[in-house]
Structure 1
Amino acid sequence: MTRIILVTGGARSGKSRIAEERTLAFGRPASYIATAQAFDTEMEKRIATHQERRGVEWVTHAEPLDLVGALNLTEGQPRLVDCLTLWLTNLMLGGHDWQLAGRELVSALPRQASPVVLVTNEIGAGIVPENKLARDFRDAAGLLNQWVAAVADEVTLAVAGLPLKVK
C-alpha cells in the first residue's frame, strides 16, 4: 500500500482537492494538518474556504511549525499536510533552521504507520526572483520538495485540476 504521497503543482492547480480525495481514499475520518497562519483578512477567508470544502470527514490540527509532532499526534488515521510551502515560509520567516526541520520530517516520514499525503507548491519553473529572500525561498522549496519526493512512495503533479503521476 502506498503510504507517503507528495502532491505538487502550481497555484490553483487543484493540488489540495486532489490530495484531499487521495487522503480520504485511505479511510475516514482523516486528519488535516494545516500549516497556514491567518495574518490578514484575505488569508482568513482562504482558510475558511478550505475548511468549508472539507466538511465533517476531517479533523483539523493547526500546526505551523512542528510537523513531526503533528504526525505523531495524529497517528492511526490518514493524514494530509497542507502545505509544505507554507510550513517552509513559517520556518524561514521565524528564523528557524529549515534544513534541520526538513531533515527531521524526511526521517520521520518512512516510519509512519498510517498514510500521509503532503501538498507542496512547485515554484521553481518561473523567473529568477529579484531579491535574496525570494531566491533563498525558491531554492529551499526546491530542495525540500526533492527531499520529500525521494522518500515518497508516490508523487503526483497537479496540472489544470488533473493529477499526473510522476512517481
Structure 2
Amino acid sequence: MIHLITGGQRCGKSEYAEQLALEQSTNPVYLATSRIWDDGHRARIEAHKARRGEQWESIEEEKELSSLDFEGRLVLLDCITLWLTNIFFDNGEQDEKSLEEAKAELDKSLSQDCDWIIVSNEVGLGGHPGNEVAMRFNDLQGRINQYIAKKADRVTLIISGLPLEIKNTQA
C-alpha cells in the first residue's frame, strides 16, 4: 500500500502522517530524508524527533532509500521534497537527470513488500518562486508528486490541518 500525503508548507502533513502510521503499526519506521543546513533547520528536526515517541524506529537517509530493507514494515517517508532537493543539488541542478534518478530510486524502494506513507509538499501552492532555479525545482517537485500519485493507492491533501481524500483505490 502506498499513501501519498501532500499539501502546502506547515499545513499539518507530518502530524497527520504520524497519526496514521501509529494507527496502522505498533512500531513504524520513520524515514527522514533531510540534510541539516543550519541551526534553525537542526532545531526543526529536533522538534520533529521530540514529538515522536519511542515506538518509532527512526532512520535517516538523504538519497539512497532503496539501500534499506523494510520488508513487512510500515514506513513513513518524510519528506519527498527534501529528498528531491538532495538529488537536485547533488546533480548540479540538472532537472531531467534528477527526475530520472528520483523515479528509478522510487521504483526500487516502492517495490519492497511493505506499506508506505509518503509526505510531500505541493510547492506550487506557496506562490511563484523568485528565481529561475527555484522555479525549475518547483516544476521538478510537481512532476515527482504526479509520478508518486499515479502509483499510490491513496492520496490525501492536507489543508489547514484537515485531510481531504483525493484518491482511494481501496474504497
Match for residue 17 of structure 1? 15
1:76 counterpart residue number: 72
- Indicate whether 1:116 and 2:116 are aligned: yes
Q: Are 1:93 and 2:89 an aligned pair?
A: yes
Q: Match of 2:104? A: 104
1:124 is displaced (CA, Å) by 1.3
Does residue 58 (structure 1) correspond to residue 56 (structure 2)? The answer is: yes
Q: What amino acid sits opposite 2:39 in the alignment?
A: T
For residue 104 of structure 1, give the secondary structure of its aligned residue in structure 2: helix
Which string of whole-angstrom CA distances, capped at 9 and with x for unpartnered residues, describes residues 16-59 of structure 1? Answer: 01111112222121111100111211111101000011110111
Task: Report what 1:139 is aligned to.
Answer: 139
- Call closer, same or farther: CA 1:68–1:134 in 2, change over 3 Å: same
Return 5+ residue gaps in structure 2 as ranges: none
Give deviations 1:62-97, integer Å, cap 9, x for gaps. 101112223xx2222100100000001111111173
Given that 1:24 and 1:78 are in contact with CA atoms closer than 8 Å, whether structure 2 keeps it comes out as: no
Amino acid at match of 1:68: S
Q: Distance in 2 between matches of 1:160 and 1:126?
A: 13
> Gaps spanning 5+ residues in structure 1: where?
none
> Aligned ranges for residues 30-69 of structure 1 at < 5 Å?
30-69=28-67
Give the partner amino acid of 1:8.
T
Percent identical pairs in the alignment equals 37
Aligned residues: 163
- Could you say which residue in structure 1 is the equivalent of 2:164? 164
Residue type matched to 1:84 in 2?
A: I
SS in 2 for 1:13: coil
Q: Decide whether the 8 Å contact of 2:70 with 2:114 is kept in 1.
A: no
Could you state the TM-score of these two structures normalised by the residue count of structure 1?
A: 0.91
**Separation in 2 of the partners of 1:109 and 1:155?**
18
1:106–1:147 contact (8 Å) kept in structure 2: no
Q: CA RMSD in A?
A: 1.5
Give the secondary structure class of the aligned counterpart of 2:67: helix
Residue 144 to residue 62, structure 1, CA distance change in 2 (3 Å): same
